[in-house]
Amino acid sequence: GGSSGSDDTKGSGGDTIKVGFSQLGAESGWRTANTDSVKAAFTKDKGFDLTFVDAQQKQENQIKAIRDFIDQGVDAIAFSPVVETGWDQVLQEAKDAEIPVVLVDRTVKTSVSDPYATYIGNDFEKEGETAVAWIKKNAADAKIFELQGTLGSSAQVDREKPVDSELGSQIVGKASGNFTRAEGKAATEAALQAYPNMTMIVSHNDDMALGAIEAIEAAGKKPGTDIKIVSFDGVRDGLQALHDKKINYIVECNPVYGDQIADLVKKVVNGEDVAKSTIVPDEAFDQTITQETIDARKY
């Protein structure tokens, strides 16, 4: 709503597009890079009027932010859902208000029909499969402790699926570190006590892996050797630890797709056809990574 300009294509010199973005938090290097990319894409000179709200990893904060966006009559809502379930009501409210929703990064499970206009993010299940393939080839008999991301988030659920289905008998234990360095460290401290036979940690992101490295070193063991580490994201600190041989393998998850989100928002607001889903491509890195690659990393 609220359009009154003369140009009927929004965001192209005529009306600006009012966008509410509910980011789930600032829990990791990945998230900070994603937020920077979003803020750089939704600027005034690119035709946007952005309201950005950080939910600090609390679903209730996200629901409140989305309701505020609906009350403000924004042209579009973009959000990264912290967990998969619990969105039915607020998605229905956005739908009733005829405000298009662009789902970013994580997916939802909902009974609302046609709950969002489009989704953009990475393929977490494929990332998990890439990790499994490396483990099977390079550490086939590993005894695995799985350091899980935020429980019930699609990033946790989908990365874990292939690990469980293909390496299930080798998993000695699991605990969540909520995608943060501090909780990753604490969960690893407890796991080192509980599962002294573990030889590998599969960490659902680099930040938790970096916390795990601290815990392993404090226990007098060598990360990357005594306990191998496989991780996800590929933020610079993670890649540096890979180069330093403290992490063994990292499956990339690319957070820099703000421009693509902005493009989708513009199209959806202007009633153009868009694909239901856009998948951001990822690579993977082993310890042969060069220092130049790491130094060139923007996040």
Query: Rounded to the nearest whole angstrom, what is the least distance from the CB of residue 8 to ligand GYE in the complex?
Result: 36
Nearest one of 121, 130, 67, 123 to 99, comparing CA atoms: 67
Q: In sequence order, which residues have a C-beta less than 8 Å from that of residue 165 and are 6 or more positions away?
A: none
Count of residues interacting with ligand GYE (CB under 6 A): 14
Q: In the set 77, 82, 100, 106, which binds ligand GYE (CB under 6 A)? A: 106
Burial annotation 63-74 (CB, 10 A radius, 16+ → b, else e): bebbeebbeeeb
Query: Rounded to the nearest whole angstrom, what is the least distance from the CB of residue 268 to ligand GYE in the complex?
Result: 22
Q: In sequence order, which residues have a C-beta less than 8 Å from that of residue 145 and are 6 or more positions away?
A: 171, 172, 173, 174, 175, 188, 191, 195, 198, 200, 201, 202
Burial annotation 202-225 (CB, 10 A radius, 16+ → b, else e): bbbbbbbbbbbbbbbeeeeeebbe
Query: Rounded to the nearest whole angstrom, what is the least distance from the CB of residue 138 to ligand GYE in the complex?
Result: 22
Residue closer to ligand GYE by CB (options 17, 157) is 157
Query: Rounded to the nearest whole angstrom, what is the least distance from the CB of residue 105 to ligand GYE in the complex?
Result: 5
Residues 11-30 within binding reach of ligand GYE (CB under 6 A): 27-28, 30
92 and 116 in contact (C-beta within 8 Å)? no
Q: Is 249 in the site for ligand GYE (CB under 6 A)?
A: no
47 and 94 in contact (C-beta within 8 Å)? no
Q: Is 233 in the site for ligand GYE (CB under 6 A)?
A: yes
Residue closer to ligand GYE by CB (options 97, 186) is 186
Rg of the Cα atoms in the chain? 20
Residues 118-157 within binding reach of ligand GYE (CB under 6 A): 122, 155
Residues 192-211 within binding reach of ligand GYE (CB under 6 A): 205, 207
Residue closer to ligand GYE by CB (options 148, 205) is 205
Q: Is 232 in the site for ligand GYE (CB under 6 A)?
A: yes
Q: Is 179 in the site for ligand GYE (CB under 6 A)?
A: yes
Query: Rounded to the nearest whole angstrom, what is the least distance from the CB of residue 13 to ligand GYE in the complex?
Result: 34
Backbone angles phi, psi at 175, to 5 degrees: -160, 155
Name the site residues for ligand GYE (rule: CB under 6 A): 27-28, 30-31, 105-106, 122, 155, 179, 205, 207, 232-233, 253
